[in-house]
């Protein structure tokens, strides 16, 4: 077998407690260059808690996170963004009343050059040009970037959120349920966009409950269970039913054939 792609992001022994509840109980995580890593698990398995630690939204009580082999201590999502990690949250992914261009640059508006910029004036023309370029790069077919996001379909909105993350991420894109509540066509649109992001060279972490979607796009599947990583499986060599059985605890990881496990 050929050498494994390098590890971009790694977490070891993450612990996160909320009062009496242990959301993460020594969770490990590993994201490799150029892959779509799906993270699956039952409700309460600790998926969102894990992703929040990786995206700076939560500070773990214990454990270590490394980016490109260097230990990092994110204090906020802004820290993670500065390190090139963009996260698409399931809810409130976009600001509906704003245009697509404004949404793409939300929180990092481009200033006009010179005094106007120093006075806080926004460079709308530059933002529009950049929006068109970045959406074209990802082949998102939206007619006008000046269209308000509330006039878009759910799938198009998700595409804007995913495209925003993809456009600005330098290192990693994390998505928490980006295809939840989408129709077949919109869901497929977002899946296609996720593939393009990977093919652009950015590794993607995809949290999803949608097994067909996971099996369609994932290179590896991280199974979260009871606050830990139960296994990482290879969707080429494991069935959907075995994957779900491991996820629910109906099947022991040790009972899987060796090729089902991803390394």
Cβ 176 to Mg ion shortest distance, Å? 6
Q: Considering CB distances under 5 to 8 angstroms, the limit depending on partner class, which of ligand ATP, Mg ion, none binds residue 18?
A: ligand ATP
Q: Considering CB distances under 5 to 8 angstroms, the limit depending on partner class, which of Mg ion, ligand ATP, none binds residue 83?
A: none
Q: Which two tokens stand for residue 122?
A: 């926004």
Measured CA to CA in angstroms, residue 241 lies from 37, 43, 74, 161, 220 at distances of: 19, 18, 37, 31, 16
Nearer to ligand ATP, 111 or 209 (CB): 209
Residue 183 makes contact with ligand ATP by CB under 6 A = no
Nearer to ligand ATP, 44 or 249 (CB): 44
Residue 48 makes contact with Mg ion by CB under 5 A = yes
Nearer to ligand ATP, 23 or 191 (CB): 23
Nearer to Mg ion, 134 or 225 (CB): 225
Cβ 41 to ligand ATP shortest distance, Å? 5
The bridge status of strand 172-176 relative to strand 204-207 is: parallel
Instruction: Tell me which of 49, 131, 179, 243 binds ligand ATP, using CB under 6 A.
Output: 49
Nearer to ligand ATP, 41 or 203 (CB): 41
Q: Which two tokens stand for residue 155?
A: 């799938």
Q: What are the backbone dihedrals phi and psi of residue 239, each rounded to the nearest 5 degrees, phi first?
A: -85, 160
Cβ 44 to ligand ATP shortest distance, Å? 4
Q: What is the C-alpha radius of gyration for the chain, rounded to an integer number of angstroms?
A: 19
Q: Which two tokens stand for residue 148?
A: 């308000």
Instruction: Tell me which of 4, 5, 6, 18 binds ligand ATP, using CB under 6 A.
Output: 18
Nearer to Mg ion, 52 or 134 (CB): 52
Which among 41, 31, 4, 53 has a CA at the least distance from the CA of 227?
41
125 and 111 Cβ atoms separated by less than 8 Å: no
Q: Considering CB distances under 5 to 8 angstroms, the limit depending on partner class, which of Mg ion, ligand ATP, none binds residue 49?
A: ligand ATP
Spatial distance between the Cα atoms of 241 and 202, rounded to a whole number of angstroms: 29
In the block, tokens 């150029």 appear at 34
> How many residues sit in the footprint of ligand ATP (CB under 6 A)?
11
- Cross-strand pairs, 220: 37
Binding mask 19-48 for ligand ATP (x = CB under 6 A): --x-x-----------------x-xxxxxx
Spatial distance between the Cα atoms of 41 and 246, rounded to a whole number of angstroms: 9
Nearer to ligand ATP, 17 or 126 (CB): 17
Burial (CB count within 10 angstroms: exposed 0-12, middle 13-18, buried 19+), residue 184: exposed
Which residues, in sequence order, are CB contacts of 63 under 8 Å at separation 6+? 11, 12, 13, 14, 15, 24, 26, 27, 53
Applying CB under 6 A, which part among 15-23, 26-34, 71-79, 246-254 lies near ligand ATP? 15-23
Footprint of ligand ATP on this chain (CB under 6 A)? 18, 21, 23, 41, 43-49
């Amino acid at each position: 077998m050929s050498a494994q792609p390098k590890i971009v992001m790694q977490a070891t022994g993450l612990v996160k407690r909320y009062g009496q509840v242990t959301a993460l109980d020594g969770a490990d995580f590993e994201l490799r260059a150029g892959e779509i890593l799906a993270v699956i698990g039952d409700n309460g398995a600790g998926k969102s808690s894990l992703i929040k630690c990786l995206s700076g939204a939560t500070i773990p009580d214990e454990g270590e996170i490394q980016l490109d082999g260097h230990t990092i201590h994110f204090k906020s999502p802004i820290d993670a963004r500065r390190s090139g990690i963009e996260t698409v949250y399931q809810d409130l992914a976009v600001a509906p009343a704003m245009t697509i261009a404004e949404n793409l640059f939300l929180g990092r508006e481009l200033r006009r050059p010179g005094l106007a910029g120093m006075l806080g004036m926004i460079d709308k023309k530059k933002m529009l040009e950049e929006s068109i370029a970045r959406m074209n790069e990802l082949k998102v077919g939206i007619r006008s970037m000046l269209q308000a996001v509330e006039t878009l379909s759910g799938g198009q909105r998700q595409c804007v959120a995913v495209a925003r993350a993809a456009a600005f991420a330098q290192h990693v894109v994390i998505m928490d349920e980006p295809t939840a509540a989408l129709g077949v066509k919109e869901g497929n649109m977002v899946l296609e966009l996720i593939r393009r992001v990977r093919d652009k060279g950015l590794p993607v972490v995809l949290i999803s409950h949608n097994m067909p979607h996971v099996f369609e796009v994932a290179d590896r599947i991280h199974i979260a269970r009871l606050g830990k990583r139960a296994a990482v499986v290879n969707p080429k060599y494991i069935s959907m039913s075995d994957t779900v059985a491991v996820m629910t605890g109906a099947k022991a990881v040790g009972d899987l054939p060796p090729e089902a496990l991803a390394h």
